[in-house]
Amino acid sequence: MNLTILAASGRTGLALTGKALERGHTVTAIARDPGRIAVPGTARLHRVAADVEDPASLAAVIGPDSVVLSALGTDRAGVLLAGAKAVVAAGPRRIIWLGAYGTGPSASAASEVLAKLLGDRLGDKVEADATILAAGGTVFHAGMLADGPESPRRRTTGLDAAPPFDLSASVSRDTVAAAMLDEAETPRFAGAVAVPLAG
């Protein structure tokens, strides 16, 4: 499968890119600085410079046959929504977007602590998720992300069956990446929120 990975130079983006290549996919890995996409080179990996705040740069890479997986995260408000709008406007076949558990549709599971942590980025995350969901994409609401291996007991559930949000619990980026790739390969949550769990 041909996959397009957004924010491929970040920690979650690197996990997505590496796991996608391990599974035999062809990957177009997008980053503002493609030299920072630190995975071993292969003929199936195409590093591309593009920026979500420059929709034309994404449109030049994303086409109607693209399956886009986004690991976009930011510490600036407005970037996620700009990215969501740019990806949707590019018209890919499918979008799988990484959001945050405890925001938007999963807000009832969260505590006030999460809202304070996100600050002015909360609204940006919520609007970005809504944009992707309205376009029929899948939004993954992951809990607190951590480094570490993929959980051998990992599973993905719909929001209705997800456990309460727990700030002290975490899920590894490798586990989230594997769940997002599962969704790319075998769609189960189109137009819905999915929650990746370590066990």
**pLDDT tens for each residue of 98-156:** 988 767 776 655 555 555 565 666 677 888 999 999 999 999 998 889 999 999 999 99
| Domains by residue range for the chain, with CATH | 2-197 (3.40.50.720)
Enter the tokens of residue 147: 């480094």
pLDDT number for residue 5: 98
Which residues partner with 97 through β-bridges?
Answer: 70, 139
pLDDT at site 124: 79
Instruction: Give the strand pairing for 138-142 and 45-49.
Output: unpaired
Of 162, 160, 128, 130, which is closest to residue 143 (Cα–Cα)? 162
User: Which residues in the chain show pLDDT less than 70?
Assistant: 75, 102, 106-122
How confident is the model at residue 44, as a pLDDT? Answer: 97
Q: pTM to 2 decimals? A: 0.92
Residue 196 to residue 146: CA distance in whole angstroms: 13
Residue type, 96: I
**DSSP symbols for 175-192:** HHHHHHHHHHHS-S-TTS
What pLDDT sits at residue 119? 60
- pLDDT on residue 113: 53
Q: Which residue has the tokens 């602590």?
A: 113
- Tell me the pairing of strands 138-142 and 193-197: parallel
Cα(185)–Cα(197) distance, integer angstroms: 18
